[in-house]
Structure 1
C-alpha cells in the first residue's frame, strides 16, 4: 500500500530552529503551510520571503518550496518536506491589494484575510462587533481568486467569513480551527460557516492547538482525534484536513508578540502556560504518524485516513492554485 500524502494545514514554528526541519522529515510530513507573515508590513514580509529563499537553498536536502501540487508530489518522491508559504493576515499588502501580484510571484499560496482584529479587509474573530468585509476586502478577495491564492478564514470573524465564502469564486479554507459546538471559543467556527465552506468545495483543518480543545492545555492527542471526528460528523470525510498549529522552537517573546497584536489591541490573543504548548502525545512533527494511526484505530478506512491526513488538502490546492 502506498504511503499517504501528509499535509499540515498550519505550522507557525520557529523556522530558525534546525530541529523543526529534522522533525518534519522524520514524521513523514509531505507538505506544511508555514506561517511567513502575521503582522509584518510590505517590506518586512518581503524580507521574510527572502530569508525563506535562502533556507530553500541551504536546506535543499530537507525541504523544497511548494508552488504547485506537482511540487508536493516531488517532496514525497524525494523524501523532503514541502514548504507552502502562507500568511495569517493581509497586513503585508498594506493599502494596495495589487501588491498581491508581487507575493504571488514569490510563491505565497495561502493568505488569511485577517488575524484576530479588524484590518482594511475584514473583521477578526476577537472583535467586539461582528462586521463584514470592506469594499476593499471584496476587491482583495477577487484579486486572491484571480491569482490562485487560497483564502484562509481561520482567525477571521463570522460575518466576514460568510461574506468571503459568498463572494469568492473559488473554494476557501479554514486551515486551522475546530467546531464551536465542540469547544465554545470565538476562534472555533459555527456550524453554518463550516457548512458554507463545505458547500463551496472547501476544506476545514481540525486544529491541534490545545487552547481550542475542551481540555485546554491538558489535552492529548486523543482530544485532537476527537476534534477530527467531530468535524467529520458535520463536514464529511471529503472536507476535513488536519492542522497541528505547532509552535515548535518558539519562546515566550513570540507569544508576547502575538498577545500584544503588534501594539494594536492587547489581550485578544490568549495566554499560554509554556512556550511550546503542544499536545501530550503530539509534541512536534516527528509524531505525525500517530494521527493516522489513531484514526485507523478508531475505525477509519485507509482511504478515509489518506483523505484526512493530506488528500483533501491536496485536492483543494489543485482546484485553487495556479
Structure 2
C-alpha cells in the first residue's frame, strides 16, 4: 500500500480503536521516570541565552531554529532574510557546541526516539531546524547535496523550504499579489531536494511556503511533511496563513501542523486571548484531524522579548511590525490591508505557556487523550516516523 494511503488510513484507525493507547506519550515511561505533566513539545523556538529558560519552559523537546540570516533588500523595497550555507554551517556548529556544553539540560535530538530518552533522563531534546533551503546553495558545481550532508552531520533534522519569499526550490507565501500566491509551485529543483531530504530522513517543513508549494510537496514526498508554525486562513484571511486544502493535505500525509503565537495571524479581534489560540487548535483538528494538531511558538522560549519589556503592551509592541506590514500592503499581498493591532496573546507570551495551553484545553473540554496529542504526542509520532 502506498505510504500516503497508509497514513490516511492510519489517521482514521487512530481516531477509532486504541487511539488513546497508541498515542499516549506517557505509556512508554516507568512511573518513577515520568515528569509531573504530559509530554510537552514545542514545534519552533530558539536556543536561549539563559540556560535556565529550558527547565522553566517544562519542555520535553523542541525544534530549534539555529539558522543565521543575511538581510537582503529586494528590488521592490521589501526585505528578505536569506540563510546562506556558510552562515548556517557556522551557526549549527555553534548550536551543537551549546548543547554539548549543557549536558545536564540538553540532549541533541538526532532520532525521534531521543524524546523518550530525554524525558527519562529529565532533559530536553532539541532538534535543529533551518528556516529556508537557501542554505543548500547552487554554485554551479552540483555540490549542494554535499552541503546538505555537512549540515545533516552537524545535526540538521528539519528543513524549511523557504522563508516568506521564494527561492530556487519553492514558492513563498508572500511572493505574489493577493490570491496569486496560491500559484507559486514547487520547482523541479525543489522536487529533487524533496527526494534527497526523504533519502536523508530529514523532516520537511512547508511553513512560509506558498499554498501550491505545500500541496506539491505533499505529492512529491514519500514521508510525512509538517508546517512547524502557522495558522488557519479561514480564521485570518492572510497570505501567511494556510488554506484548508493545505491543512488537510498535511494531515493526510501523516504530518502535523503547529499553531504559533503570533497573534495578528491568530485572530482579527482587537484584544487577543488564549481562547483565540484554542479556537485555532480546534479548527486545525476539524480540518486536518486530531492527529495533525500541534503547538509551536516562533518566539524565544520566554516569549517575544520586546513585548515582555513593554509588559505585553500590544499597542506599543505592534509598532515595530508596521513598516514591514505596510510594505506588503503596498504590494497588495493578501490580508495586509488589515492593519494589525497586536503581536502576542499576553497569557501565552510567558515561559509557562505550555501549562497554560494545557489548562485551557481542559477548560474547553478536550479529552485527556486529545490533549496528549496536541501538547506533544503528535510531534513525537512524526519525529519518530521520519527521523530514523
TM interval, short-chain normalised: 0.7 to 0.9
State the shift of 1:64 in Å: 2.1
Unaligned runs of 5+ in 2: 1-25, 27-33, 70-81, 307-316, 326-330
State the shift of 1:75 in Å: 1.9
Correspondence 1:4 to 2:38: yes
Residue 295 of structure 2 aligns to a residue whose secondary structure is strand
Residue 132 of structure 2 aligns to a residue whose secondary structure is coil
Residue 69 of structure 1 aligns to a residue whose secondary structure is coil
1:1-322 correspondence runs (5 A): 3-11=37-45, 13=46, 15=47, 17-18=49-50, 21-37=51-67, 39-95=82-138, 96-98=143-145, 99-128=147-176, 129=180, 130-215=183-268, 218-247=271-300, 248=303, 250=305, 277-322=343-388
- TM-score between both structures, scaled by the size of structure 2: 0.73
Alpha-carbon spacing, 1:88–1:137, altered in 2? closer, same or farther (3 Å): same
Q: How far apart, CA to CA, are the structure 2 residues paired with 1:241 and 1:58?
A: 29
Asked if the contact 1:246–1:284 (Cα under 8 Å) also holds between the matched residues in 2, the reply is: no
Cα-to-partner distance string for 1:26-48 (whole Å, 9 max, x where unaligned):
23111111111252211110110
State the shift of 1:62 in Å: 2.0
Q: How far apart, CA to CA, are the structure 1 residues paired with 2:269 and 2:44?
A: 19
- Of residues 222-231 and 208-217 in structure 1, the stretch that sits farther from structure 2 once superposed is 208-217
- Of residues 239-248 and 223-232 in structure 1, the stretch that sits farther from structure 2 once superposed is 239-248
Alpha-carbon spacing, 1:35–1:314, altered in 2? closer, same or farther (3 Å): same
Asked if the contact 2:113–2:384 (Cα under 8 Å) also holds between the matched residues in 1, the reply is: no
Cα-to-partner distance string for 1:47-77 (whole Å, 9 max, x where unaligned):
1011112211222222221111222112212
Aligned pair count reads 309
State the shift of 1:17 in Å: 2.3
Asked if the contact 1:90–1:112 (Cα under 8 Å) also holds between the matched residues in 2, the reply is: yes
Residue 175 of structure 1 aligns to a residue whose secondary structure is strand
Residue 315 of structure 1 aligns to a residue whose secondary structure is helix
Alpha-carbon spacing, 1:66–1:249, altered in 2? closer, same or farther (3 Å): same
Asked if the contact 1:97–1:140 (Cα under 8 Å) also holds between the matched residues in 2, the reply is: no
- Of residues 238-247 and 138-147 in structure 1, the stretch that sits farther from structure 2 once superposed is 238-247
Q: CA RMSD in A?
A: 2.7
- TM-score between both structures, scaled by the size of structure 1: 0.87
State the shift of 1:249 in Å: 6.2
Which consecutive aligned stretches of 4+ in structure 1 deviate over 6 angstroms post-superposition? 270-274
Q: How far apart, CA to CA, are the structure 1 residues paired with 2:253 and 2:278?
A: 25
Q: How far apart, CA to CA, are the structure 2 residues paired with 1:178 and 1:77?
A: 32
The residue number in structure 2 matching 1:263 is: none
Unaligned runs of 5+ in 1: 261-265
Asked if the contact 2:194–2:217 (Cα under 8 Å) also holds between the matched residues in 1, the reply is: yes
State the shift of 1:108 in Å: 0.8
Asked if the contact 2:169–2:193 (Cα under 8 Å) also holds between the matched residues in 1, the reply is: yes
Q: How far apart, CA to CA, are the structure 2 residues paired with 1:104 and 1:273?
A: 40
Q: How far apart, CA to CA, are the structure 2 residues paired with 1:83 and 1:285?
A: 17
